[in-house]
Structure formats: structure tokens, C-alpha cells
Structure 1
Amino acid sequence: MNSVRDWRAEGGIDHRGAKSRESTARLGARQSLEAVVHEPAIPALTQADPEVARLVQAEARRQFEKIRLIASENYVSRAVLEATGTVLTNKYSEGYAGRRYYEGQQVVDPVETLAVERAKAVFGVEHANVQPYSGSPANLAVYLAFMEPGDTVMGLALPSGGHLTHGWGVSATGKWFRSVQYGVRKETGRVDLDEARDLARRERPKVIFCGGTAIPRTIDFPAFAEIAREVGAVLVADIAHIAGLIAGGAHPSPVGHAQVITTTTHKTLRGPRGAMILSDAEHAKAVDKAVFPGLQGGPHNHTTAAIAVALGEAATPEFGTYAHNVVANAKALAAALLQRGFDLVSGGTDNHLILLDLTNKAIGGKPAAKALDRAGIEANYNTVPFDPRKPFDPSGVRLGTAAITTRGLGPDHMPQVAAWIEAAVQAAGDEATLDRIAAEVAELMAAHPMPGWSPAV
């Protein structure tokens, strides 16, 4: 197996991000691409723009050789990749199926209808809108549908694991609306439902968000539904991180508790970079009007097709097995990290996500994440509840097991992954040690195929 440095050379980027001296050598770039295989193949791109093609191949090799533990990332299937790259990207389709503002929708309408029907079937909902461009626009549509500027929204505070679009101050949602934030208990790291209930009774929000971006525990949808009913609020479940686990039966569903559900279509759902809004019939019209014409023009039809493919995959028994394996891997990794003296927010995990608090390791989250990346382990630095450090230099690192589960790693691999994490954190700044770990990581990952790319044989 070549060392982890090989993809940097082929990609024209060294580990510090500097351009290779060969980055403008178009012929050399074309020749270097012959040693790797993108699936589906990219011969036209390679011929027309070998520099871009070489960067695509470099990113593919990087993904192949690393242990990817960023909780919001995954690997899509070759079928999803192919759908994303189709001629559907050429077509404009403002409006909804059967109600378009452009002609020539004879094919696009069935594509979107298929995605909608599959979303309804997979999640058991009455209505689905598959047009939002991403998770943040989907959440913005919720505000447009059910609130007026200045109205009160309640969400989980960002430092406690919430999302920017749940009313955090630096977001448009915190600037245009009156935001109140609940948190987690300091002693447990779990959502403080008593605080949330008291806050809702006092502030009477129009919309309550549950869910977030760094929550390692099961979300109590019934408890949030009870709070929302008591104060007359619309309950919105943001399941962007756990949608695939819900689809696969590895996490409880918010359906029947939340009137509106927002989600991205990547992360654990293993689809393209897009989003959906799911709802009951009562709230469907307001959702659709908010997405179009409220916020967006034409949907990205190639993405819609890829969402349909991913939802088709999510309906299979194999996907259910995958979802449960994601959770099993997260629990095994959490246990191995605890054995090595790491402090985990909430003491563990119920889903795909682990949040490390590195305060007891005498290193910040940012230098730890950078050391891990140099060691071939991809993660992101993250705030932790009651973090004494600044957001751009926080105490935590967030991990997730969706991508490595797609690659076929199992609970038996997690003790070794934990050992590499510990060694890399301890070796921050020691380039030789980090390179040695990266080579060992690359050797392990070489035995686990990656959808979309393979090294030449």
C-alpha cells in the first residue's frame, strides 16, 4: 500500500495545502489520472480539464485512505453518484409537479413525484417536499411558513448541541426573530426538559425546534410534543443527523409527535447534498408555499433524482442493517474511548454521534482535530456544553460512525480506532508519529472498498 502522502502528490496538494509544482502541467496531470479509477468514470472531464479532474481524483483518494469520522459526512452509492451527474441538471422546473411555470416537464414531474412518494413511504408521513437546496434553507422555510419577523422561536442553544438555524444569535433566524434557548443539564449532558417546559410556558413561542447538530442521545419527541401542545406551538423536529437511523429503525421517529420535520438527505440517510421537509396534511400547504415561491426558484432536478435513489435504498432491509450497525459502531467506539480516559459528553451515545470533551487531555479541540487529520482520521472541532473556551478554539471534537460503517468497519475495529485517536491527540505536533499512524490507517482502509472510487489494480 502506498503511503498516505501519495494522494497529496497526485492531487497537487501537500499536507499544508500548498499547490504542487506540477499543478499546471496538464499533460502530466492527464497521465497521473491513468493510475486511479473514478466510478462512474470521468473521461470527458479528464480530457477537457485535467487539473479539475486531478483534484477530483485527489479528493476521492483522500476519502479512500482516511477514517472519516465527521458526523455529517458519508459515502453515497454509485447509483446516487450517477443520478447526481445526469442531464436532469439541464432542466428548470419552477413550481411543483403538475403546476410548473416552464414547459417540458414530462420527465421531471415523474422524477419529483417518485422522490415525494418514496419519502412519504420511508418516513410514514402525509406530505413531503423534496425541493429545499439544503438543511438551512429548509429550516428557513419553516420560519416563513409559520412565523412573522419578531415572533418567538425556541430551540436548543448552539453550545448545547443545537443548530445555528434554531434561533442562534449570529444566524438570520436569531436576528429576524425573537429567540429563546433551552440547554442541557451540566451533570448529565442531556437536554433539560424541565427547563424547556418552563421556558415555553413563560415565553409562548410560535415554533419549537427539537433536534440539533451535536446531540449524542435519543431525542424525546413525545416530551417535546407535550410541551408544544401545552403552549400552542408548532413542533419542528430537525432530524438532519439521524434521518437514516430513523429510516432504518435504529432511532425513534418524530412522526405523530412533530407536525413538521426537516432533514438533510446526506449524513446518515446516505443521499446527495439536499434536504426535505416532511409534514402532516394540515401544514403541507404552508410548507410548500414557503419553499416556492417563498424562498427558492427552480429545484435542482439532478439532486431530486438522487434523493429518489437514496430513498429507494433506504427502503431496503440492507439499509436497516446498516442503520443498526452505525449505532453499534458508535457505542463500541464510545466504550473504547472511555476505557482510554476520554471524557464523553453525556457519558456515551445512543446514535451515530460522539462528542469528546478534551479538557482533561490538556489540548483544545482545534489542535486535536488538526492532529487527527494529519494522522488520517477526519473529525471536526466542536464546542461542548458549558465550554470555557471560545467557539473558534473550543474544548471538543465531534465524531460520527456513519461513513466508516458504510465502508464496512465493525465494532471489532473500534478499539484500534480509539487507540489511533488517543495516539494522535497525544502526538499533536509530532509529524513523524502522525505520519506513521496515517500509514497504518491507510493500510486498514485499503481493505474496505469505497463506493465511487478505487485504486488501480
Structure 2
Amino acid sequence: MSLQDYFSRGLSADPELERAITGEMRRQQDGIELIASENLVSRLVLEAQGSVLTNKTVEGLPYKRYYGGAEFADAVEALAVERATRLFGCRFANVQPHSGSNANAGTFLGLLKLGDTILSMDTAAGGHISHGHPATLTGRDYRIVRYGVSRQNERIDYDEVRALAFEHRPRMIVAGGSAYPRAIDFKVLRDIADAVDAYLLVDMAHFAGLVATGLHPHPFPHAHVVTTTTYKSLRGARGGLVLWNDEALSRRINGGIFPGVQGSVMLHIVAGKAASLGEALRPDFTTYNAAVVANARQLAEGLAAGGLRLVSGGTDIGLMLADLSPLGIRGDLAAHTLEAAGLAVNKNQIPFDPHPPEAPSGLRLSANAGTARGFGEAEFATIAQFIVDLLRAPEDTQLQSRIQSEVAALSARFPIYR
């Protein structure tokens, strides 16, 4: 291969890889994405992530690097930091985490001692595995005490949180989860944290876009530190952020990220974060998030009308958790049936689920990606009916084929990346 070829050949030079990527493009174009941890980024974000920043290695913070040649790398990361702090109204941000899990792990490492007690939501109640699941490093490195939700309304039982906090005296209380569809009372949790001299960390990964646009209670000033992913409701590059206001925490948080849990910065991803954070500062991002909430409620209402039970009775954010028990189907079969018709969802346990994660009682769904491509309430009402029809007859392959055609036709009315 000549040098000219090396710097000019594109994806067509690798047919196997090209087929897989082209197939994924078509899947996204022709299907409907309802997975809560996914969204659709802009062409701007795609181009920023695919830039020559891929070639550059830096370590440390902007303007304090261990590597030379960082003038433009520093400008990119500083821009991402400035946009993150402006968007969320805070003083400090670390935009380097490769993921939300790294944002959490790095913050834990920076602020806590190994073996300290963390009080966080049980994954079985909707919490996230990075908050101390036994299979993760955070679950192994710290003493984890778990709170859940009430059996009566499937919402956080703040009295239980308070009782557990006074019993176990955690060094940190974690709020936020992976499958909790309701707004959280951050003030109550901060009061509990103050009473036991604990940090309050809010992981707002699934509602960060709503926070940024004033459509959800803001974690600040109640939280000591806030973490989030930059995709999901922020509609951006895959990665994480850490946000805080107290300068005294800066060295510890930054050190927890690097060199604590990860190495050099993925600058091309930071560029994608900067691009999406810039988009989030535009007025149309508020319009988008308002539509997400309206569409999620429409989807939830349609599912409930079709016989599914909505965990906690509905949703305050872009995601919802549906109990399939009334239809007599489990989550693994439900997800497979829907995917065969072009509807991507994920199986999920519900609170107090009698069934295992591999074949749980629920599905987790989101309006984020569908709203990003332009779907409105009418389209989500149609999607809800697709789901109900399919789950009532999961073995009907003719029905799957017909709905797959209707899904493709609906998607074609709202094209992406053409």
C-alpha cells in the first residue's frame, strides 16, 4: 500500500466492515429506536467525532498537558467545558469520562476511600449498575447499601432512605437510576445527606436534557456533584460528564478521572461532546425536550390503554417501564417479537420482579430517539398500537411482517442521514 493510498482510501477499501456499518445505517433508517440509552446524533456530531482529533493524544487538563502539540486539543476541550458549565449553570466540569460509568467510578474514587459506604438505588428497583452492583468494581471497592421503591406506588421511599442513612452512615448517597421514570426530590435527599455528613451525587443520565431546558427539577444547588452521560436525553456523543460547584472538590474529582480510572483523553469524543453541548444551548433543544416529554406520555398512555401496566403509573421523563404481566408475556420474547418488526426495545426487570433478568416481566422504552427524528404524538400513538398488537400475538409472523412494513413506511416519512 502506498502512502497516497493510506491517506486517501475510505471505508470501501474494507468491504466486510463497510457491509456491517451500512447494515447498521439501514437498521437505524428503516426501524424505530425505543431503547432508553440510545439517541440519534446530528451530522455535526458525527463529523466532529470522525475528525483528525482521533490522531491526537493528551493527558491531564487543558493548558496543563503532559504531551506537546496540544494547542488545538486544549481549545476543543476548553470549549466543551465552557459549554457544559453554561448549559447546567455550574462552575466546574470534567468532560473527559469515556462513559457515565467512568464518570461515577472516577468521582467515587476521588471523593471516597476504598471501603466507604455508599447508599444507592438497588438495580432491581431501577438503579444503575455503576452505582455499586456486585458485579462491578464500584460494588467490590465500596460497601454498598441499597434503597428501593415503595410497593404501594413504586416510587422512591424517602423514609426508607432516611432510615438506612441513619443506620449505616454512608459517606455518599447516590440518586438517579437506569429505569426509574419519575422526578426525584433532590432537596429531601440533600437534607438526609447533610444529616449524616454524606456527599449527595446525582446521576442525571436519563433526564439531563430535561434539566438543561428547565423541564425537570435541577440537581443543583442540592447535589455536591452531578454526573451524566452525554447521549440519551442530551442527544450527543457517547461519553460522560462530571459537574460541580465547590472548588475544593476540583483536584479530587479531576484526579479520580485521570489518572484514577482512565488514561488519555479521547479528543474526538470530546469534540463530539462540544458539538452536542453547543446544540443543547440553542432554543430548539428546549422544543425537542418538551416534545420528548409529551411523546413519552402519549406512548405510555397508548400502552396502558392496550393492557400493559406502567410502573409507578406513568412517567415524568423520556423513559418508561412497562409491566408485561397483564398480557402473559415475558420481556425476552417481547423484545425479540418487537425487534422482528423493526421496533428496538430492551427487556428490563420491574420492581419486585419475580422473574430473572434474562426473562424479566418488563420492557424499558423511551421517546428520545423517535422525537429526535421528528415523531410527534400522533406517531407515538401509532407506535404504541404496533407494540400492543404484536405483544398480544407474538407468534403471528404475518402480523410481524405487516407491521414491519408499516414501521418502514413511517420511518421513511422521517428520514435520517440522507
RMSD of aligned Cα (Å): 1.1
Secondary structure at 1:237 match in 2: strand
Partner residue, 2:3: none
Listed as ranges, the matches of 1:200-239 within 5 Å are 200-239=165-204
Please tell me whether the aligned partners of residues 236 and 273 of structure 2 are also in contact (alpha carbons under 8 angstroms).
yes
2:325 is the counterpart of 1:342: no
2:390 is the counterpart of 1:424: yes
Secondary structure at 1:394 match in 2: coil
2:95 is the counterpart of 1:130: yes
2:218 is the counterpart of 1:253: yes
Which amino acid in 2 is paired with 1:292? F
2:264 is the counterpart of 1:311: no
Q: Report Cα offsets for 1:55-92 as digits up to 9, x if no partner.
A: 11110110111111001110000000000000001000
Secondary structure at 1:143 match in 2: helix
Partner residue, 1:93: 58
Counterpart-to-counterpart distance in 2, 1:50 and 1:219: 48
Counterpart-to-counterpart distance in 1, 2:9 and 2:286: 37
Secondary structure at 1:236 match in 2: strand
1:220 deviates by 1.2
Match of 1:302 among 256, 268, 274: 268
Counterpart-to-counterpart distance in 2, 1:171 and 1:377: 30
Partner residue, 1:406: 372
Counterpart-to-counterpart distance in 2, 1:176 and 1:294: 13
Match of 2:48 among 75, 83, 87: 83
Counterpart-to-counterpart distance in 2, 1:331 and 1:227: 31
Q: What is the TM-score when the length of structure 2 is the normalising length? A: 0.96
How many residue pairs get matched?
410
Partner residue, 1:176: 141
Counterpart-to-counterpart distance in 2, 1:133 and 1:83: 16
Partner residue, 2:293: 327
Please tell me whether the aligned partners of residues 308 and 325 of structure 2 are also in contact (alpha carbons under 8 angstroms).
no
1:449 deviates by 2.0
Counterpart-to-counterpart distance in 2, 1:162 and 1:347: 18
Which amino acid in 2 is paired with 1:147? L
Please tell me whether the aligned partners of residues 407 and 448 of structure 1 are also in contact (alpha carbons under 8 angstroms).
yes
Which amino acid in 1 is paired with 2:52? V
Listed as ranges, the matches of 1:368-447 within 5 Å are 368-447=334-413
Counterpart-to-counterpart distance in 2, 1:89 and 1:169: 34
Partner residue, 2:241: 276
Which amino acid in 1 is paired with 2:410? L
1:133 deviates by 0.5
1:129 deviates by 0.2
Counterpart-to-counterpart distance in 2, 1:175 and 1:341: 41
Secondary structure at 2:217 match in 1: coil
Please tell me whether the aligned partners of residues 327 and 352 of structure 1 are also in contact (alpha carbons under 8 angstroms).
yes
Counterpart-to-counterpart distance in 2, 1:191 and 1:66: 34
Counterpart-to-counterpart distance in 1, 2:93 and 2:277: 12
1:436 deviates by 1.1
Q: Report Cα offsets for 1:259-288 as digits up to 9, x if no partner.
A: 111111111101111111001123222100
Partner residue, 1:60: 25
1:392 deviates by 1.3
1:343 deviates by 0.3
Counterpart-to-counterpart distance in 2, 1:419 and 1:283: 49
Counterpart-to-counterpart distance in 1, 2:130 and 2:262: 17
Which amino acid in 1 is paired with 2:306? R
Counterpart-to-counterpart distance in 2, 1:286 and 1:51: 45
Which amino acid in 2 is paired with 1:417? I
Secondary structure at 1:217 match in 2: coil
Partner residue, 1:109: 74
Secondary structure at 2:10 match in 1: helix
Counterpart-to-counterpart distance in 2, 1:244 and 1:268: 5
Please tell me whether the aligned partners of residues 80 and 270 of structure 2 are also in contact (alpha carbons under 8 angstroms).
yes
Secondary structure at 1:390 match in 2: coil
2:231 is the counterpart of 1:266: yes
What residue ranges of structure 2 are gaps of 5+ in the alignment?
Answer: 1-7
Counterpart-to-counterpart distance in 1, 2:404 and 2:201: 41
Please tell me whether the aligned partners of residues 146 and 206 of structure 1 are also in contact (alpha carbons under 8 angstroms).
no
Q: Report Cα offsets for 1:387-436 as digits up to 9, x if no partner.
A: 00011111000000000001111112222111100111122232221111
Please tell me whether the aligned partners of residues 331 and 348 of structure 1 are also in contact (alpha carbons under 8 angstroms).
yes
1:332 deviates by 1.0
Please tell me whether the aligned partners of residues 248 and 322 of structure 1 are also in contact (alpha carbons under 8 angstroms).
no
Which amino acid in 2 is paired with 1:48? A
Which amino acid in 1 is paired with 2:150? R
2:127 is the counterpart of 1:165: no
1:231 deviates by 0.8
What residue ranges of structure 1 are gaps of 5+ in the alignment?
Answer: 1-42
Listed as ranges, the matches of 1:140-151 within 5 Å are 140-151=105-116
Please tell me whether the aligned partners of residues 100 and 239 of structure 2 are also in contact (alpha carbons under 8 angstroms).
yes
1:51 deviates by 2.0
Counterpart-to-counterpart distance in 2, 1:74 and 1:369: 18
Which amino acid in 2 is paired with 1:197? R
Which amino acid in 1 is paired with 2:401? D
Which amino acid in 2 is paired with 1:269? L
Secondary structure at 1:256 match in 2: coil
Please tell me whether the aligned partners of residues 266 and 273 of structure 1 are also in contact (alpha carbons under 8 angstroms).
yes
Please tell me whether the aligned partners of residues 184 and 191 of structure 1 are also in contact (alpha carbons under 8 angstroms).
yes
Which amino acid in 2 is paired with 1:369? A
Which amino acid in 2 is paired with 1:447? R
Secondary structure at 1:107 match in 2: helix
